[in-house]
Amino acid sequence: MVLRLGIPAMCAQFFNILYSIVDRAFVGHIAADGEIALASIGICAPVLTAITAFSSLVGIGGASVMSISIGKKDYKNARLAMNNAIILLLCLSAILTILSLIFVKPLLYALGCSDIMYPYASGYFKIYVTGTVAVLCGTGMNQFILAFGNAKRGMLTVMIGAIVNTILDPIFIYVFHMGIYGAAVATVIAQFCVLLYVLFFLFSDKPAFKLSYSHLNYPIVRQILTIGSLPFFIMLFDNLLVISLNFTLRKYGGNIMGDRYISCAAVVQSFMVLVFYPAQGITAGCGTLYSYHYGAGHYDKVMQVFRYVFYLCVGYMLLLCVAAQLIPETFAYIFIQEETAVILSASCIRKYTLGLLGVAIQYAIVDGLTAMGQIRLALPISFFRKILYIICVFLFPVFCSLENVFYAETISDIAGASVTVIVFITMIIPKFRLNRSIYN
């Protein structure tokens, strides 16, 4: 069952990666200003990802509540979870779109934007946020498709968006000569295609129950936001990591080298998308297994899911870790052409990815605990790694060369994995054993 749900969800995230990878690849190869345009997308990325985090807040939270309720045979609350989720996502979409358009300039400059970058970054950003309703509702409600056990259909949902985006990107960027703005237009159109497909499925007779209108049920809303808060704050903290890195590179690199290093950081973050998204796909696809078995009291099966998800994550991370050390230049050439920038980006990728196996441990355990609603256990071990990263980012340039700041990810990955294993062995396993003996 882990393979049946985890592998399609993992494949779906590969297609989801195309949103980011394709945009940056085409933009990075724009004649004359490709490197500065790529850096501009890197500047926009944290706030755009922060907006997307709200889809996880409601989508993952609501899907987990629905799965836990189904495990308890509480079908009324299961329906309420899905119906309340779409209302929350629509409200959040309207609020976030308005605020983003009002505060675009201070936001981008706070993220490290330079005067040279601003025309590129602001145009891309304004077009992108017009699709906020499609991003939040499409991505968020796709979690319910996964929760119904339709991992292949969830994969198809993401494939539709990725394929549309890949086809439209070169048309808008090169044929219509829209440059970086064309990449944003293509992405928005693709996101609306995803939303239409998700709504078509959820309003059909194919899921166990249809999406319909319900008044907000505040106990259900509270459960959704409580469970969804961890993936939401994790995504926000992940953005804070990118922001802190860009800020440090700007501060210590100056105007010229700052832009060059931020471009390299955009390449590194593009590689990390390859790392994180598929791993998240595995854990998200298996989230319904965690939720259902935990709600039903099947603690032995919960431990089995932990084990198999861990095996999948480790296998994937090991493959990426080897590739990052052996052929990072191959990946860098996808985004940039200038030889010096390629060499610098490859060096940064090597430094950044030495501890990838530690990420596999954290994903398997933290995301599993989140799906079961065990936020108090998952939150501290997730935030420890991120806080350590930020500390390293700000301290390293004071004591060594600026390029060594990219070791911050490796150090935090190894230390975070060590703490996670200790907590899992000393607190989580004994708790499951106790619950199993009480349940039996």
DSSP characters over 397-411:
HHHS-GGGGGGHHHH
Q: Are 26 and 124 in contact, with CB atoms under 8 Å apart?
A: no
Residues 6+ apart with CB under 8 A from 420: 361, 362, 365, 366, 381
pLDDT score recorded for residue 11: 60
The single-letter DSSP state of residue 209 is S
Q: Are 287 and 62 in contact, with CB atoms under 8 Å apart?
A: no
> Mind spelling out the 3-state secondary structure of 227-296?
HHHHHHHHHHHHHHHHHHHHHHHHHHHHHHHHHHHHHHHHHHHHHHHHHHHHHHHHHHHCHHHHHHHHHH
Residues 6+ apart with CB under 8 A from 208: 70, 148
| Dist. CA 132–CA 47, nearest whole Å | 12
Q: With left for phi above 0 and alpha for psi between -120 and 50, is residue 149 left, alpha or beta?
A: left
pLDDT score recorded for residue 438: 44
- What tokens appear for 36 in the block? 């500065």
| Dist. CA 420–CA 405, nearest whole Å | 24
The single-letter DSSP state of residue 32 is T
Q: Are 58 and 228 in contact, with CB atoms under 8 Å apart?
A: yes
| Dist. CA 399–CA 404, nearest whole Å | 10
| Dist. CA 221–CA 202, nearest whole Å | 20
Task: Tell me which residues of the chain have a pLDDT lower than 70.
Answer: 1-20, 29, 31-32, 34, 284-288, 431-440
Amino acid at 117: M
| Dist. CA 252–CA 46, nearest whole Å | 20
| Dist. CA 309–CA 312, nearest whole Å | 5
CA-nearest of 3, 12, 104, 87 to 51 is: 104
| Dist. CA 223–CA 140, nearest whole Å | 16
pLDDT score recorded for residue 284: 67
Residue pLDDT, tens place only, 101-113: 999 999 998 887 8
Count CB atoms within 10 A of the CB of residue 218: 9
| Dist. CA 54–CA 217, nearest whole Å | 19
